[in-house]
């Protein structure tokens, strides 16, 4: 897998394709789709992303490649045992406001992706329902942060909660066992 572009390069790629959302929101949508059980090998995510981000118009080759890499990276991160999933956010050198806005966009994207495929909220565990409720609250977060150590720590704690919660949802809903056809022989 090739090296992912920086957050700023990804933003320019999206804008050059007339997709005016943050890269964090795109990763959030993909993560939400995976976390609620989109089949990992399925290519339907490109169609869903096209519908949501581009009025159903197919993406240009360079953007498809980036989306495919982003999807593969998320699948790989969720599937390994080292819990290495990371949110795609601006570098820490960026302002806390920019980081917070990107985090809120990621959470909104996650909720959108999760909602696109999760049809039966009644069957979700209490833990997953709590995550969705918390993410809904985080999506309304006041993103005005001062550049203080206290605000930096508070943002980091929210970011870490979001990261771990996304992994929890995937662990519960996203991992599908391969369903080999079973023989229906009656004895």
Three-state secondary structure of the chain: CCCCCCHHHHHHHHHHCCCCCCHHHHHHHHHHHHHCCCCCCCCHHHHHHHHHHHCCCCCCHHHHHHHHHHHHHHHHHHHCCCCCCCCCCCCCCCCHHHHHHHHHHHHHHHHHHHHHHCCCHHHCCHHHHHHHHHHHHHCCCCCCCCCCHHHHHHHHHHHHHHHHHHHHHHHHHHCCCCCCCCCCCCC
Res 16 pLDDT > 90: yes
Query: According to the model, what pLDDT value does residue 187 have?
Result: 39
The whole-model pTM stands at 0.86
Q: What is the pLDDT of residues 69-97, one digit of tens each?
A: 999 888 888 877 766 788 999 998 899 99
Q: What is the pLDDT of residues 104-147, one digit of tens each?
A: 999 999 999 998 877 777 788 899 999 999 999 999 988 888 88
Tokens linked to 142:
């006041």
Choose among 78, 83, 169, 170: nearest CA to 129.
Answer: 169
Domains of the chain (ranges plus CATH)?
Answer: 7-174 (1.20.120.740)
């Amino acid at each position: 897998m090739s090296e992912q572009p920086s957050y700023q390069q990804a933003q320019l790629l999206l804008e050059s394709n007339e997709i005016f959302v943050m890269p964090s929101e795109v990763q959030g949508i993909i993560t939400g789709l995976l976390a609620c059980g989109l089949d990992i090998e399925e290519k339907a995510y490109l169609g869903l992303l096209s519908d949501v981000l581009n009025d159903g118009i197919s993406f240009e080759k360079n953007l498809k490649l980036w989306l495919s890499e982003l999807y593969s990276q998320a699948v790989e991160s969720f599937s390994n045992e080292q819990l290495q999933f990371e949110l795609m956010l601006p570098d820490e050198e960026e302002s806390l406001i920019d980081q917070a806005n990107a985090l809120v966009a990621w959470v909104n994207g996650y909720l959108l992706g999760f909602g696109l495929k999760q049809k039966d909220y009644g069957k979700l565990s209490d833990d997953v329902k709590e995550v969705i409720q918390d993410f809904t609250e985080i999506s309304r977060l006041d993103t005005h942060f001062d550049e203080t150590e206290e605000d930096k720590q508070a943002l980091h704690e929210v970011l870490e909660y979001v990261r771990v919660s996304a992994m929890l949802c995937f662990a519960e809903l996203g991992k599908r066992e391969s369903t080999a056809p079973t023989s229906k022989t009656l004895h």
